[in-house]
A = this chain, B = another copy of it.
Amino acid sequence: MAGTQSRRPAKSTVRKTDGPAVVLVEPQLGENIGMVARAMLNAGLTDLRLVRPRDGWPNDTANKTASGASLVLETARVFATTAEAVGDVQVLYATTARPRDMNKDEVTPRFAAAQMRTHHQKGLKTAVLFGRESKGLHNDDVALADALMIVPLNPAFSSLNLAQAVLLIGYEWFQAATQKPDIERAIRTDTRPATRDEMVGMFGQLEDALDDSGFLRLKAKRATMVRNLRNIFVRAGLTEQEVRTLRGVISSLTRR
């Protein structure tokens, strides 16, 4: 258990489809990224994505810290925005230390892991967002997620570091291999869950239309209103067919 006796998995066996992607938004310290890689590999996870890592990429400190898990760093991808990092994702979780002032489902890692296993079996892409050390995720990133993942631990002392949070969630993922979900969203067979890209495309169309119509442009709190609207549609768990329908609705309403 405590130890450094580890075997390096062969690069050819890395499949980015092994499970949820781990997305670090604005990670600050190279050591933390390296430790995250090790935490991931403990759970058989290999799809690491970085959004604007503070010290750029690649990162020597991260490589040194990752040690036997350097495979994860070698295949890690870097993005300029969170939306781009999760463009292909159909089910997205955002980790937060405490609830946000949003209308959003909150799930335990255990429950999310069972959900993710089900999605994974259906070939859907899942991911978990982790925010900046000591700051967490920006609300705009949280708004993109289907649910908040909150790790239930001692409220009088809760101080998980980034790698520990990834480890706990990876551990639950690993445990959940044989679980049947308590609740499952059935969708029609002629469609599939929309990707984040498809959703954000529709949001962009709606927000442009609402800027033109004046609903958004004059609002002092445009950012908040945008998030609130996005939360409504993210919560619906839209299929790609529904995204297309809503785009048609927006076009039709604005065409008059």
Interchain CB contact under 8 A, A1 and B232:
no
Does A248 reach chain B (CB closer than 8 Å)? yes
Interface footprint category on A = 35 or more
Does A83 reach chain B (CB closer than 8 Å)? no
Interchain CB contact under 8 A, B242 and A228:
yes
Does A253 reach chain B (CB closer than 8 Å)? yes
Quote the shortest CB–CB distance from A255 to chain B (angstroms): 7
Interchain CB contact under 8 A, B133 and A3:
yes
Quote the shortest CB–CB distance from A36 to chain B (angstroms): 10
Contact among B43, B97, B175 with A110 in the assembled complex (CB-CB below 8 Å): B175
21 example contacts (A-B, Cβ-Cβ < 8 A) are as follows A2-B97, A2-B133, A3-B134, A5-B158, A7-B157, A8-B157, A41-B157, A42-B153, A42-B157, A42-B160, A68-B157, A101-B188, A103-B185, A107-B184, A108-B183, A110-B175, A151-B171, A153-B174, A206-B249, A210-B253, A235-B237
**Whole-angstrom distance between the alpha carbons of A162 and B1 in the complex?**
7
Quote the shortest CB–CB distance from A158 to chain B (angstroms): 6
